[in-house]
Amino acid sequence: MGIMRKNPEFQSLLRKSGYKATSSRMMILAVFRRLRHPLSAQEIIDSVGKAMDQATVYRTLTALKTKGIIRQVDLRHNHAHFELANAKEHHHLICLRCGRIEDISGCGIEELQSGILRKTKHFSEIRQHSLEFYGICKSCARGGGMSSDLHASRIAELYHSR
C-alpha cells in the first residue's frame, strides 16, 4: 500500500470547489483513482478501513457529486455507484448474469442530446445523463460460469449484492 502522501492535484480540485482538502476527501479520491471501476459506498468504506466513519464516506460522496467531481452510475444493484468524472465521457455495458462491466465511449450520445433539447417544450438545459446497457457477455453466453478475468473485488461485490 505504501505511504499516502498528499496529492496537490486533488487538493486544488477540492479547494476550487469550495471545500477543505481534508484527509478523508483526499483518501476517497485516491481510492477512486486506484480502483478504476464504479464504486459503491460500501466498497469505499471497506477500502478505507477505520480511517474514517461511514457517515463521512456518505457525506463526502454527496459533496463530490454535488460539485461534479464524481458522477453517479446506475448498475441496478440496489445501492448507488460512483466514478471519477474527470475520465473521458463514457458509459457502461453490464452483464446481466455475471456483472462484468465494460466501458464504452465515443457512442455519439451528444447528438441525441442536442436533438432532445431541440424537441422538448419544458426543458431549457441538459446537464447530465446516464446511459447504461445491460446484456449478456460472451463468456456467460458460452459456458454458464463467470469468466476468470473478472476481478475479485467485482466478484465480491456481486456476491454481496442481492
Partner DNA sequence: AATCTAAATGCGAATTATTTGCAAATAATT
Partner DNA sequence: AATTATTTGCAAATAATTCGCATTTAGATT
Question: Which positions touch DNA (CB under 7 A)?
Answer: 11, 14-15, 19-25, 40-42, 51-56, 58-60, 62-63, 77-80, 160-162
Residue 103 sits at the vertex; the CA angle it makes with 146 and 160, to the nearest 5 degrees, is 45
- Output the CA torsion 150→156→158→162 (10° steps): 170
Cβ-based neighbours of 44, under 8 Å, separated by 6 or more: 28, 31, 57, 61
Min. distance of Cβ 50 from DNA in angstroms? Answer: 7
In angstroms, give the least distance from the CB of 42 to DNA.
5
20 or 34, CB closer to DNA?
Answer: 20
Q: Which partner, a copy of itself, DNA, none, binds residue 77 by CB below 5 to 8 Å per kind? A: DNA
Q: Reduced to 3 states, what is the DSSP secondary structure of residue 43?
A: helix
Amino acid making up residue 9: E
What distance in Å separates the CA atoms of residue 33 and residue 38, rounded to the nearest whole number? 11
Q: What's the closest the beta carbon of residue 16 comes to a copy of itself, in angstroms?
A: 21
Cell numbers at 39, concatenated: 464504486
109 binds, among DNA, a copy of itself, none (CB under 5 to 8 A by kind): a copy of itself
120 binds, among a copy of itself, DNA, none (CB under 5 to 8 A by kind): a copy of itself
C-alpha 136/C-alpha 96 separation (Å) is 6
Give the interface with a copy of itself as residue ranges (CB under 8 A). Answer: 72, 74, 76, 78-80, 93, 95-96, 100, 102, 104, 107-109, 111-113, 115-116, 119-139, 141
